[in-house]
Structure 1
Amino acid sequence: MASDTLWQRLRGWIKPDMIRPGGIKPDGIRPDPTGRTVTPPLRDTAGSTRVADSLRALLDDPTIPAAVRSELAGDFARIEAMLDKLERGELHVAVFGRVSAGKSALGNALLGREAFTVGVLHGTTTDAEHAMLDEAQHDGLVLIDTPGINELDGEARERLAFEVAEVSDLVVFVCDGDLTREELDALKTLAATQRPLLLALNKADRYGRDELDSLLQHLRLRVAGLVRAEDVLAVAAHPAAQRVVEVDARGHEQVREQARLPDVAALRERLLAIAAREGKTLSAINAGLYAGRLTDQVSTRIAQTRQAVAAKLIRQYCLAKGVAVALNPIPVADLLAAAGLDAAMVVQLSRVYGLPLTRAESGRLVAVISAQLAALMGAIWGMQLVASALKGMSAGLSVVVTAAAQGALGWYATVLIGRAAERYLIAGKSWGEAGAKRAVANIVANLDRDSILREAREEILKRLKARRA
């Protein structure tokens, strides 16, 4: 399938050494002998172009059924948005944190304007908001404010926050003190999304210098393996007003409140540096990873659709063969030799799975499967099969009842052949390392023989009685 090739291309471009604790690093970043990370200037235009081409291939893949495309319409829309983002050269940064940690205030401070709503009460930010970072218009840095992870509306808003993380390239997690268990759990979840993480200790103005240094060191230890030490930064998005004492000409003191400017320079410089150096690569990798997950979903849906169609097809042939055998009974020993309908069924199955077989190829496949079934059907197994087919039927063993039992055996043989052929096709026309014998034996072992025979008897009897009537 074309989408399989797409994901193979994406995986070929996203190299294993691009993954690091707390996120993904672009190719070219290597630690120097002292352990520090040395990152050369990076503009991986070729990599971005390859991923963009792969995204277009996924969007335009003609092998994806309309029903699957409709079912995953939201995901395909995200891919289109990611493609647009890649073409604009944007880096999307999600801002996370608890309610009142100062996420929106930090976003506004980074932007230098009131772009996000700031409020004291819970629930101020109820949806994701986007704004271009003023100082980074050229580098295309976009901030995304999110609901607090402990909002009153809880699960729904937290789920929204993590969905935003999934389509963001970088995450800034905002705290205002030591991390709570809830915050640490959220950080671990975010790290699992393989996004680069920065931890911003907000309201740093509340601490003295020594106390702040001690808290930053403590936070770096707590998030080791999730966030790099150099990415744990102190900020003051909305510092408390400073008390200023003024003495007038007569010596009278007057105390007034003087607003202080936000202190987010270190974080802003870090974000701008990442955007300038790694932005296109991070954006391309994130898009590639998301497209890979969507490709897997598409493949799963297509496989489910094919399996449903195949199950319906096998049942139709089971019914046709079961009724045919019942109307013209043949000895049990010759049931597996009635390969005409089975060969036709396998041809149809091969088309369902997009691996068409000729009638001759289908016949050979049925012969291989039948030979393995015959080897399994020793005398004792054959007697048990006959007993199962007759079990629960009229003690009188009328002609109709006997015919239904024989038809049920034909039905069961067709189920076995259909399931075995389906397995062969799913594996790409291969029995795998274990070979046909083991594959067919596993099919036999995993099928509920008695329930299949019971359904077959009931359905065939109903058809035979309808014909007699």
Structure 2
Amino acid sequence: MKALEPQPANGDGHLALARESLRELLDDQRVPPPVRAALAEEYRQLQVLLEKIEHGHIHIAVFGRVSVGKSALLNALLGETRFSTSPLHGETTRATHARWQEYDAGGVFLIDTPGINEVSGETREQLAHDVASRSDLVMFVVDGDITDTELKALRQVKGAAQRLVLVLNKIDRYTQADRKLLLETLRRRSAGLIQPQDILTVAAQPAERIVILVDAEGNETETRRRPPADVTALRERIWDILKAEGKTMAALNAGLFAGRFSDRLTREIVVIRRGLADKVVRKYCLAKGVAVALNPIPVADILAAVATDAAMIVHLGRVYGLPINRVEAGALLKTIFTQLAFLMGTVWVMNLVAAALKGISLGLSTVVTAGAQGAVAWYGTYVVGRAAEQYFAQGKSWGEGGPKRVVQDILDSLDRESLLAQARDDILARLKPLL
């Protein structure tokens, strides 16, 4: 068993920082429950990664096309058959792993992955990518000159993996001259992706050879024998990498995973909050539209509208984790109203006219007029809600363009006639049983 030599102290420091980062993400109580539910699998992976670091484990994954000898390579490194090496394509259907007992520092695990070029293999390819992004070292295996498909995959893996070595397998099938040419070609085509010293040749499962045995009496017997695997150069290179960079690789890999997780978490929180905010806004739109339509006193309509909009803003602040009081909501509402009065003055005139008509109308005309006024109120609250949501989404800020730009952009993005028609239908559906 080969022991890893002591590593630089900064490796321990990097691991400590990575551990702290992962724990903070796992223990962050500010994450809404719906977001945690949506990212349940990512949280599980985060927990696995934290446990991996705490136990000092190193993960080494193998990556490549179907039948390049990935499983055979892992078996050769292990010195025993732990991974299937069936000649059938697609034998490895999910990531599997085994502990590499040759090391006695923490624990090194070798991980097999499905082939990257399977037909209709998007799920397998995504699985391989996920394994690569969580591995500390990836062995990208080819069995000849690298193809365009492999080169594309190599670039993708390079973006996901912290440390990468390129392995040319089945080297026993080539002459010395062909080996030299292949290595030169691989170095040239992988320039900028792989360091020359990280391109290794192996014969993980050499082809059988015919051997002539001669007994004591001179009788010849023909038999087939498979030469032993030749992975010495690769094994030594892996040892050197783990000695020099093992802890730092693990720390960097954890840091990158944490960064990607944090970005996904932020996006998911935004999506969840926007969904909740939209429900809140539409709830207040309908409540205000019905209240304004039912109230025959125009002045009371306006007061009810302001109170409803202020309550909606307070509610939106809670959705975005930025609570505000009624006074702050009133000030924010005044800012939005000022922009609406400037940009949308004719709508508010329509609102006042409809209010006056509602006070003198009778029968069905009252319902129709009330529905029209309620729809305008619904639309106004919708614009207010969208503007307030944008303000909270930007951390209680209007951004560089100020409130006027935010309100203008919202008005430009809306299909006013469609929204008013939707509002009228919703309000009339609520009003008819009451009037």
Interval containing the TM-score (normalised by the shorter chain) = 0.7 to 0.9
Provide structure 1 residue ranges, at least 5 long, that are not aligned to the other structure: 1-39, 390-395
Matched, 1:454 2:424: no
What amino acid is aligned across from residue 302 of structure 1 in structure 2? I
Instruction: Decide whether the 8 Å contact of 2:292 with 2:305 is kept in 1.
Output: no
- 1:231-380 alignment to 2 at 5 Å? 231-241=198-208, 259-329=226-296, 338-378=305-345
Distance 1:236 1:82, change over 3 A: same
Residues matched between the structures, number: 422
Please give the secondary structure, in 1, of the residue aligned with 2:21.
helix
What is the alpha-carbon distance in structure 2 between the residues aligned to residue 426 and residue 338 of structure 1? Answer: 24
What amino acid is aligned across from residue 98 of structure 2 in structure 1? A
Q: Compute the displacement of 1:62 (Å).
A: 1.2
Please give the secondary structure, in 2, of the residue aligned with 1:130.
strand
Q: Which residue is 1:158 aligned to? A: 125
Distance 1:321 1:188, change over 3 A: same
Task: Please give the per-residue CA displacement for 1:48-78, whole angstroms capped at 9, x wherever unaligned.
Answer: 1111111111112212233322222221111
Matched, 1:65 2:32: yes
Distance 1:52 1:370, change over 3 A: same
Instruction: Decide whether the 8 Å contact of 1:110 with 1:264 is kept in 2.
Output: yes
Matched, 1:425 2:396: no
Instruction: Decide whether the 8 Å contact of 1:201 with 1:234 is kept in 2.
Output: yes
Distance 1:252 1:68, change over 3 A: same
Matched, 1:223 2:182: no
What is the alpha-carbon distance in structure 1 between the residues aligned to residue 383 and residue 29 of structure 2? Answer: 33
What is the alpha-carbon distance in structure 1 between the residues aligned to residue 433 and residue 71 of structure 2? Answer: 73
Q: Which residue is 2:164 aligned to? A: 197
Q: Compute the displacement of 1:82 (Å).
A: 0.7
Q: Which residue is 1:414 aligned to? A: 381
Higher alpha-carbon deviation: 121-130 or 425-434: 121-130
Matched, 1:126 2:96: no
TM-score by length of 1: 0.82
Task: Please give the per-residue CA displacement for 1:377-432, whole angstroms capped at 9, x wherever unaligned.
Answer: 345x667889999xxxxxx9923222221222211111111111111111111111
Identity of aligned residues (%): 52
Instruction: Decide whether the 8 Å contact of 2:138 with 2:161 is kept in 1.
Output: no
What is the alpha-carbon distance in structure 1 between the residues aligned to residue 119 and residue 334 of structure 2? Answer: 65
What amino acid is aligned across from residue 59 of structure 1 in structure 2? L
Distance 1:42 1:237, change over 3 A: farther
Q: Compute the displacement of 1:126 (Å).
A: 2.6
Please give the secondary structure, in 1, of the residue aligned with 2:434.
helix
Please give the secondary structure, in 2, of the residue aligned with 1:219.
helix
Q: Which residue is 1:206 aligned to? A: 173
Q: Which residue is 1:99 aligned to? A: 66
Q: Which residue is 1:23 aligned to? A: none
What is the alpha-carbon distance in structure 2 between the residues aligned to residue 151 and residue 462 of structure 1? Answer: 54
What amino acid is aligned across from residue 352 of structure 1 in structure 2? V
Instruction: Decide whether the 8 Å contact of 2:206 with 2:227 is kept in 1.
Output: yes
What is the alpha-carbon distance in structure 2 between the residues aligned to residue 442 and residue 258 of structure 1? Answer: 76
TM-score by length of 2: 0.88
What is the alpha-carbon distance in structure 2 between the residues aligned to residue 296 and residue 141 of structure 1? Answer: 29
Q: Compute the displacement of 1:240 (Å).
A: 3.5
Task: Please give the per-residue CA displacement for 1:74-124, whole angstroms capped at 9, x wherever unaligned.
Answer: 211111111111112222111122232211111111122222222222233
Q: Compute the displacement of 1:329 (Å).
A: 4.9
Distance 1:150 1:378, change over 3 A: closer
Please give the secondary structure, in 2, of the residue aligned with 1:239.
coil
Instruction: Decide whether the 8 Å contact of 1:170 with 1:196 is kept in 2.
Output: yes
Quote the RMSD (CA, aligned, Å).
Answer: 2.9
Q: Compute the displacement of 1:314 (Å).
A: 1.6
Q: Compute the displacement of 1:294 (Å).
A: 2.2
Please give the secondary structure, in 2, of the residue aligned with 1:416.
helix
Distance 1:151 1:356, change over 3 A: closer
Instruction: Decide whether the 8 Å contact of 2:129 with 2:160 is kept in 1.
Output: no
What is the alpha-carbon distance in structure 1 between the residues aligned to residue 99 and residue 277 of structure 2? Answer: 51
Q: Which residue is 1:439 aligned to? A: 406
Instruction: Decide whether the 8 Å contact of 2:288 with 2:304 is kept in 1.
Output: no
